[in-house]
A = this chain, B = another copy of it.
Amino acid sequence: MRPLTHPSIDDVSVEAILHALSDPVRVAIYAELADSGCAQTCSTFLTIKDRDIPKSTLSQHFRVLREAGLIHSERQGVEMRNTSRCGEIEQRFPGLIGAIMEAHRVQSAERARAARRRAKGS
């Protein structure tokens, strides 16, 4: 089993954070972890934003979040426990994560409104 790698907070880069959080599914995962405050297992997220996500895709999303320094993962038996590193990140790059998550929220709300308009029109 490959060891899990976590960058030290000083090695976390803006580029990696922006890449990791440019994906709506990863932002949704991260938002749930950051909100819940406590460790969550990957399987909690198998349905996110009303979409079923294959387990392999989900593992890949968690890997990107972990390698960007956004989450901490720990194996516990066959499960993986994940916690957000939002406190550390906020200290290093104040306001960054919040602004990105808010922008995704704005965009999701707009897309949902547009979808409703299309559904009404059809």
Q: Interface of A with B (CB < 8 Å)? A: 10, 13-15, 17-19, 21-24, 92-96, 98-100, 102-104, 106-107, 110
Contacts and interface: CB of A to CB of B under 8 A. Distances in A.
Contacts of A10: 110
A96 B40 CA distance: 28
* Most chain B C-beta atoms within 10 Å of own C-beta, residue among A15, A24, A92, A94: A15
A56 to B, nearest CB: 22
Contacts of A99: 93, 95-96, 98-100
Contacts of A24: 15
Q: Quick one: copies of this chain in the complex?
A: 2
Main secondary structure of the interface of A (DSSP, over half): helix
A104 B14 contact: yes
A96 B100 contact: yes
Nearest to A13: B107
Contacts of A19: 18-19, 22
Contacts of A22: 14-15, 18-19, 22
Contact of A107 (B14, B23, B103): B14
Contacts of A13: 107
7 contacts: A14-B22, A18-B100, A93-B107, A94-B102, A95-B95, A96-B99, A99-B99
